Every structure is written in structure tokens, then in C-alpha cells.
Amino acid sequence: MASSTKYIFITGGVTSSLGKGIIASSLGKLLQSRGFSVTIQKFDPYLNIDPGTLNPYEHGECYVTDDGAETDLDLGHYERFLNVPTSQSNNITTGRIYNNVITKERKGEFLGKTVQVIPHITDEIKSNFYKLGEEGKYDVVITEIGGCVGDIESLPFIEAVRQARLDLGPNNFLVIHLTLIPYLKAAKELKTKPTQHSVKQLLEAGIQPDILVCRTEHHLPLEVKKKLALFCNVQLNSVIEAMDADTIYDVPLLMKKEKLDERVLSKLKLSSKSNSELEEWKEFLGKLKNPTQETTIGLIGKYVSLPDSYKSIIESFTHAGASIECQVNLKLISSEEINHENYETKLRGLDGILVAPGFGERGFEGKIETVKYAREHGIPFFGICLGMQVAVIEYCRNVLQLEGANSTEMDPYTPNPVIALMEEQKNVDQMGGTMRLGSYACELKKSSKAFAAYGKTKINERHRHRYEFNNHYLEQIENAGMIATGKNPETGLVEIVEIKNHPWFVGVQFHPEYKSTVLSPQPLFVKFIQAAVANKK
């Protein structure tokens, strides 16, 4: 296979949650800064076709791409670091691989043959490894293999990585193994044995890692590095220390200091095309770490006990806050715990209130109480997806006095379905990948807060929903002071609502958080934080 694209595979050992996604993103950033075009893809070992059908408690947030793929939250990190959009091709699961192979089998593409893990599943995995590289747009494709080496589930992926080395040739192929060096307090010692074992497992599978990236809470003394190099069969200068960082955004600079990018370039026989010193990135970090103002914002949702469920929203606050040197103290509050008796004590002291996306009835009435409080007290309010729908329902119930106003998601028999199932959703009987997904256009009214944020009338944002603003009620709602300030130009679907007589009350049907990156903070988040700061004063 002749290819000018270089492939880097990142595997994980010892435990999960070591931050492969952040290491992949950081390496990608460093390679970008040296003039290479980079994309990162993730291969997940589970059997779901995609994470769209997973509860956020299982797997954190479901991240949505422009092309409407429901993907792993690590793709969010890839975009936030690299500032380049990802797509369906950037996230493949075992479920999708098997689905593709079985579909081919039924079509008779393997007619007469026994269909097996090797070569049929591994061939399918490899063709997906190479897909983005073959587009010709990227100098480097980084592939993160989900899970841990040694997991039964990830075996076919690991086997495919072994085979990929033969396809690609030594200078086009590199394996980085991310591992943990635990510190035993009682013995005051850093232990290398778990890493030795996980590398042995890789070797048994026929893969020699080229570089070890070692997560650690303490600096690795030279002796420890030497031991790792010797037992794991890697060069001493390829044992890279990855100390715990204050923020994930420090990691590119830490990896640069450890010369991870230099090692990678030399092993892939690449020389830098340019060398930017990550000036903008450093400027962002400077602002992030030296805020000149602060504000307290409440994030009200039902999955708050696992903050990963709101990963992109949380990171959007980091990007937007840093851009105006504002420290955002985010308080995650469970909407299930908010009711008509306690809402004031629960919400007091918040300078701004965000009602989060979500599905289903649990915690819904707490969200209604929250919106009412924000609306009546002039507290800056930002509603995202379900949060926007709640804002409409609250307005219809309490301002328009529309009895029992609701979404048909919560009450299919409501007398006033102000939020209702979209027409195109009515015949949908499959759950996965069938919502209104991905990027759609929205046209803004010039007099709106949204226009003040974006500075233009035509925007595109990503979506993930089945229900929509019911346009039968539009005139009534607008006459009462809640204005549809953003609409889809083709369908007229209401994308944004705002309340006229309120300092900052914006509900959006789309998910602005998916497009926020370090280098381009999302404008609505910036304006919302500014409004919260102003409210505090």
C-alpha cells in the first residue's frame, strides 16, 4: 500500500481513563504547529453501532459532528484542540465493523467463503483505519484505540494494528502506548511493573510500542525511565513523562517540553514544515490562568453527578471565559432536586443560569421552576435544546396561561403541545441515528441578542433532537413577548427564542457547545458570561 500519509496508533495500558484522547489531541496540536495537517480518529471496542443510544451515565456526553454522526466525547477534544471538524469516519465501533461485514456477507460479497475475524473483521478495521488518510487531505492520521490492551473486546483492533505495520512500512507507522506509573505512598516508590506487563501483552500480540507515554503523579527519575526502557524495549529518549496537569490545555506544552513531537517526527522520518510556537495557544492559557473577573453560573441538568455528560458545555465555558479573562465558577445542580418549595435557596447567588439538554421527564418540572426564576428575576438565562424547549413551555404556562402546556415528549396528551414531535420523526421506529442530527442553517433577526453575539445573520449549528417548537403557537407566543429570533430558512423551524424585556434570555434548539474550540470560543457563551458578569455588578 503506497501512501504518503503517516499513521500513529495510540494504545492504552494498565487502566482506562488515562487520557488517551488528550494525549492524542496534544500530539495532534504539536504536529499542526509544525505545519502538518492532522486528523484524529477513535476506534471503540463496544458493540453499539455508535454511542447515540448510550445513557450519558454509561459513556459521558454523546458528541455530534457536522455530518450528523453521534460519536464518542473524545472527538470533542480532537475538535477543541485542532480546530478542525471531524466526521462519521473519525469514530468507528466494533458494532459498526461487524455490521458492515455482516451486511456484505448477506449481499454475497464473500460468497463461498467462511467469514472470520481474521481476515474479514481485521480487513474491515484496516480499511477504516486508512479511510481518512486516503482522502489525501492529511499528512498524519492519529488513531486512538479505545479501552485497554488485554481486553477481550479490543483484540481484533490490536491485531489490525499489528497488520497495519506490514501494510504501511516502518517509516509510516508508529505506536505510542499510554500507561500509568503508580506511586505507592507507603513504599515511597514509583512502580513500573504494571507497565512492563501491559507492554508484554502488546508484544504477545506482535506489537512493539515505539514510544511510551507514562502518566504519573511524580516526576520519573532517570533510573525509573531507564528501567522502563530496558524492560519495555524502547529507547530511553522515547520514555515520555506525562505529569498530571492543572488543565488539559497545558498538556500540549508539557508534551512539547518532553519532546514527544520530536520523537514522533524522527521516527516517522519527517521534518517540520514550519515551526509556530503555539503563540495563540499560550495566549489562551495566559488568559485562562490570569482572570481579571469572575462569575458564578449554574448548570441545571439531570446528569450532573457525571460531569462528563456535559463535557462540551463545560469546555465551552472554559474557552469563552478565557477569551474575556473571566473565571467561570460552574455549579452543577440536579434539576431533580429543584421544586416549587426550594427553588430560591437552590438557585440563589447564581449570576447566570443554563438549563441543559436532555431527554425524558425526570427532572423536568425542576427545570420549569428554574426557568421561571431566571425569567422573573432578570437573571441571564441560556437554554440549550431541551433547555430551550423548557423555556417555551414555561412561558406558555405562566405568561400565556396556556393550560397544561407541554412537550409531547413529556405528556403525549397535553391540551397545548407547544413543543411537538417533528413531522419527519413520526414514522421513525429505529432509535439509533434517527434524530434530527448535524449541521443546519439558521437565519437570525438583526435586532436579536443572537445577532449581537454572532455578528452575522446566517449561521450553522449542530443539532440532536426529535421535538420542535410548534409553529401553530408562534404568533401567540411572539405577541406575548417571546420572539423567535432564529429560524431555519428552509423549514421555518424555530431555532432560537428570546424574551424582549429581559437582560439576556436566549434559548437555542441547537447545540452551540459542539463547535466551541480553544481558538474560536462560541459567541453565545461569550455573551452569556458577559451578561452574567453584568448581572453580578
List residues near ligand GLN by CB under 6 A: 357-359, 385-386, 409, 464-467
Of the pair 359, 451, the CB lying nearest ligand GLN is at 359
351, HSE (Cβ side, Cα atoms, 13 Å): 20
What DSSP string describes 387-446? HHHHHHHHHHHHTS--TT-EETTT-TT-S-EEEEE-GGGTT----TT-SEEEEEEEEE-T
CB of 449: closest distance to ligand GLN in angstroms?
A: 21
Q: Give the 3-state secondary structure of residue 139.
A: coil
CB of 317 to ligand GLN, least distance (A): 18
Of the two residues 385 and 529, which places its CB atom closer to ligand GLN in the complex?
A: 385
Please tell me whether residue 193 adopts helix, strand or coil conformation. Answer: helix
**Which residue lies nearer to ligand GLN by CB, 6 or 465?**
465
197 is catalytic: no
> With respect to ligand GLN, which residue has the nearer C-beta, 385 or 484?
385
Is residue 219 annotated as a catalytic residue, yes or no? no
Strands 482-487 and 326-334 come out as: unpaired
Alpha-carbon distance of 224 to 229, in angstroms, equals: 9
DSSP track, 242-253: EE--SSGGGHHH
H helix intervals, 185-275: 193-204, 222-232, 251-257, 260-267
Nearer to ligand GLN, 141 or 356 (CB): 356
| Given the residues 214, 326, 385, 396, the one annotated as active site | 385
Is 202 within 8 Å of 208 (Cβ atoms)? yes
Count Cβ atoms below 10 Å from residue 521 Cβ, excluding itself.
22
**Which of residues 13 and 51 has its CB atom nearest to ligand GLN in the complex?**
51
How near is the Cβ of 425 to ligand GLN at its closest, in Å? 9
> Smallest distance, Å, CB 507 to ligand GLN?
11
Considering the candidates 319, 465, 502, 511, report the single residue annotated as catalytic. 511
Identify the active-site residue in 79, 315, 409, 513.
Answer: 513
CB of 409 to ligand GLN, least distance (A): 5
CB of 165 to ligand GLN, least distance (A): 41
Please identify, using beta-carbon distances, which residue of 161 and 405 lies nearer to ligand GLN: 405
> What is the C-alpha to C-alpha distance for residues 95 and 481, in angstroms, rounded to an integer?
48
Residue 469's DSSP bridge partners are 419
Q: Which three cell numbers stand for residue 183?
A: 506511586
Helix, strand, coil shares, percent, the chain, to 5: 40, 20, 35
C-alpha cell at 43: 476506534
Q: Catalogue the E-assigned strands of 146-193.
A: 173-180, 183-184, 189-190
- 490 given a catalytic annotation: no
Question: Which cell numbers in the block locate residue 363?
Answer: 427532572
State the minimum distance, in angstroms, from the CB of residue 466 to ligand GLN. Answer: 4
139 vs 409, beta carbon nearer ligand GLN:
409
Q: How far apart are CA 76 and CA 20, in angstroms?
A: 13
| Unique residue bearing C-alpha cell 440563589 | 348
Considering the complex, what minimum distance in angstroms separates the CB of residue 420 from ligand GLN? 10
| Closer residue to ligand GLN, CB minimum distance, 383 or 523 | 383
Bridge-based pairing of strands 173-180 and 63-64 is unpaired
SS3 7: strand
User: Max alpha carbon distance in the chain (Å)?
Assistant: 75
Please state the closest distance from residue 417 (CB atom) to ligand GLN, in A. 13
Q: Helix 74-82 and helix 311-323: axis angle, to 10°?
A: 20
Q: What is the DSSP letter of 240?
A: E
Name residues whose C-beta falls within 8 Å of residue 250's C-beta, 6 or more positions apart in sequence. 285
What are the residue numbers of the active site?
A: 385, 511, 513
